Amino acid sequence: MKTIDELLTEGVAGKRVFVRADLNVPLDGTTITDDGRIRAVAPTIAELARAGARVIVASHLGRPKGAQDPAFSLAPAAARLGELLGAPVAFATDTVGESARATVADLADGQVAVVENLRFNPGETSKDDAERGAFADELAGLADLYVGDGFGAVHRKHASVFDLPARLPHAAGHLIATEVGVLQKLTDDVKRPYAVVLGGAKVSDKLAVIDHLLERADRILVGGGMVFTFLKAQGHEIGSSLVQEDQIPAVREYLDRAKERGVEFVLPVDVLVAAEFPDLRTKAPAHPETVAADAIPAGRMGLDIGPETGRLYASKLADAATVFWNGPMGVFEHPDYAEGTRAVAQALVDSPGFSVVGGGDSAAAVRILGFDENAFGHISTGGGASLEYLEGKTLPGLAALED
């Protein structure tokens, strides 16, 4: 895989460089609530601009379904990128239309432009190779070179991720190079003990990675909404907690396999429960109660791991040489259910081992809960991409960057 360093050595001054970034940031109206992904790709963009390239930045945001939708405009992300670069960033109000062509034509050496949300064009996400390819042809007409640096999208077979690199000389940006290097530490010659913490709502989202990790991890700690499917698979009462009944046979199989292989599967010993889901808008007090994980009362739903479990999980991470964490332990967006996630994050900070926060809600939680990002070994920008890499899948966006 050619890197941006090689591209810079060859020279990019005066050339139009298309950077496929991941600016898919959470918005509250037009206000960015977490700019982590923009900050992660900014160094690649800044270096290209300093080298005299005419930089065209493109990304998706949300799921606008192939049509213009102001709620998913990249304008706020373009403005934030300009603040981070300390220089004006032009913004095109379409992807490959009149505005995009004019904006790119007006760029001088060292200047940066952002084109509008790629998913406003149905060709970006089309499953039809011809339609996707036609859109990639239009994108290729804007540029001379391609730099892939949107790690959060490399598991998607989309026009700007998979088809476009085949049409232009291409290289991997700094962010993708870093992400791949980190993930190799979780798959090749891993330092042990290797502990994995998995959370989030649905166990079905994690089954494939659990299957893969059973061959590699020393211990797997489970939290979040997905844990109640595990608890029910063990025969425990879970009240009105989230459960995926159809996944119980698979969960039982994984628990049996873990026992056979000597992989320690750690489940909560206590949980926080309430009669209803908390109001995340007002953050009104929820008044949860702590109960044993194997004795959740009827009419109560589990919403976070309990304090004893937080201490247990911290002890299981204390001696780990490698830790991968993906998924919060509870409804961390509400202060009454944030302590389980906080306990795991603090355990990673305290651990002397190499810790990787696997993107998505886990990365957001780290920032929302006020942790110093530099206290972790690495915070990924792509939760889904990280999981699929750990599952051993070929990621289209990485395959497209191979020479």
Query: What pLDDT digit, counting tens, does each position of 304-356 carry?
Result: 999 999 999 999 999 999 999 999 999 999 999 999 999 999 999 999 999 99
Residue 132 in domain: yes
pLDDT at 257 over 80: yes
**Alpha carbons 1 and 209: distance in angstroms, whole number:** 25
Residues 247 and 132 occupy one common structural domain? no
**Alpha carbons 249 and 41: distance in angstroms, whole number:** 41
317 is in an annotated binding site: no
Residues 218 and 257 occupy one common structural domain? yes
Catalytic residue, candidates 360, 382, 383, 397: 360
Q: Name the 3-class secondary structure at 187.
A: coil
Residue 54 in domain: yes
pLDDT at 142 over 90: yes
Q: Which of 117, 142, 173 is the last residue of a domain?
A: 173
Look at phi and psi of residue 296 and say left if phi exceeds 0, alpha if psi is from -120 to 50, else beta: beta
The stretch 153-163 carries a mean pLDDT of 97
Q: Which residues pair with 272 in a beta bridge?
A: 290, 304
Catalytic residue, candidates 2, 202, 216, 367: 202
The stretch 136-147 carries a mean pLDDT of 98
pLDDT at 99 over 80: yes
Say whether 14 is catalytic.
no
Phi, psi of 122 (to 5 degrees): -60, -20
155 is in an annotated binding site: no
| pLDDT given at position 65 | 86
**103: which DSSP letter?**
H
Catalytic residue, candidates 148, 199, 306, 384: 384
* Model pLDDT for residues 170-212, shown as the tens digit of each residue: 999 999 999 999 999 998 889 999 999 999 998 998 998 999 9
Residue 213 in domain: yes
pLDDT at 359 over 90: no
- 93 exposure class (CB count in 10 Å sphere: 0-12, 13-18, 19+): middle
Cα within 13 Å of Cα(167), Cβ side: 21
* Model pLDDT for residues 42-94, shown as the tens digit of each residue: 999 999 999 999 999 999 999 998 999 999 999 999 999 999 999 999 999 99
Say whether 360 is catalytic.
yes
Q: Name the 3-class secondary structure at 87.
A: coil
359 is in an annotated binding site: yes
| pLDDT given at position 86 | 97
What average pLDDT does the chain have?
95
Q: Residue 86 corresponds to which tokens in the numbers above?
A: 């300390």
Residues 89 and 64 occupy one common structural domain? yes
Task: Please choose, from the candidates 113, 128, 3, 2, the residue with its C-alpha nearest in 3D space to the C-alpha of residue 58.
Answer: 113
Domain hosting residue 88, numbered range? 4-173
60 is in an annotated binding site: yes
Residue 402 in domain: no
* CATH of residue 251: 3.40.50.1260
380 is in an annotated binding site: no
| pLDDT given at position 237 | 95
- Structure confidence at residue 361 as a pLDDT band (50, 70, 90): confident
Residues 166 and 37 occupy one common structural domain? yes
| pLDDT given at position 114 | 98
Say whether 311 is catalytic.
no
174 is in an annotated binding site: no
Q: Which of 173, 189, 211 is the last residue of a domain?
A: 173
Instruction: Specify the pairing of strand 270-274 against strand 301-305.
Output: antiparallel
63 is in an annotated binding site: yes
Residue 396 in domain: no
| pLDDT given at position 101 | 98
- Structure confidence at residue 383 as a pLDDT band (50, 70, 90): confident
333 is in an annotated binding site: yes
- Structure confidence at residue 20 as a pLDDT band (50, 70, 90): very high
156 is in an annotated binding site: yes
Catalytic residue, candidates 15, 37, 132, 157: 37
Task: Please choose, from the candidates 201, 205, 220, 197, the residue with its C-alpha nearest in 3D space to the C-alpha of residue 346.
Answer: 197
Comparing 149-153, 201-205, 293-297, 313-317, which segment has the lowest mean pLDDT?
A: 201-205
Instruction: Please report, as a single letter, which amino acid is at residue 22.
Output: D
| pLDDT given at position 360 | 76
Residue 119 in domain: yes
* Model pLDDT for residues 205-248, shown as the tens digit of each residue: 899 899 999 999 999 999 999 999 999 999 999 999 999 999 99
358 is in an annotated binding site: no
Burial string for 60-77 (b: 16+ CB within 10 Å, else e) reads: bbbebeeeeeeebbbebb
Residues 370 and 257 occupy one common structural domain? yes
The CB density around residue 374, as the number of other CB atoms within 10 Å, is 7
pLDDT at 403 over 90: no
State the total domains in the chain: 2
Residue 264 in domain: yes
128 is in an annotated binding site: no
206 is in an annotated binding site: yes
Q: Who contacts 249 (Cβ-Cβ below 8 Å, separation ≥6)?
A: none
Question: Is the distance from CB of 199 to CB of 215 less than 8 angstroms?
Answer: no
pLDDT at 295 over 90: yes
- Structure confidence at residue 111 as a pLDDT band (50, 70, 90): very high
Q: Which of 173, 189, 206 is the last residue of a domain?
A: 173
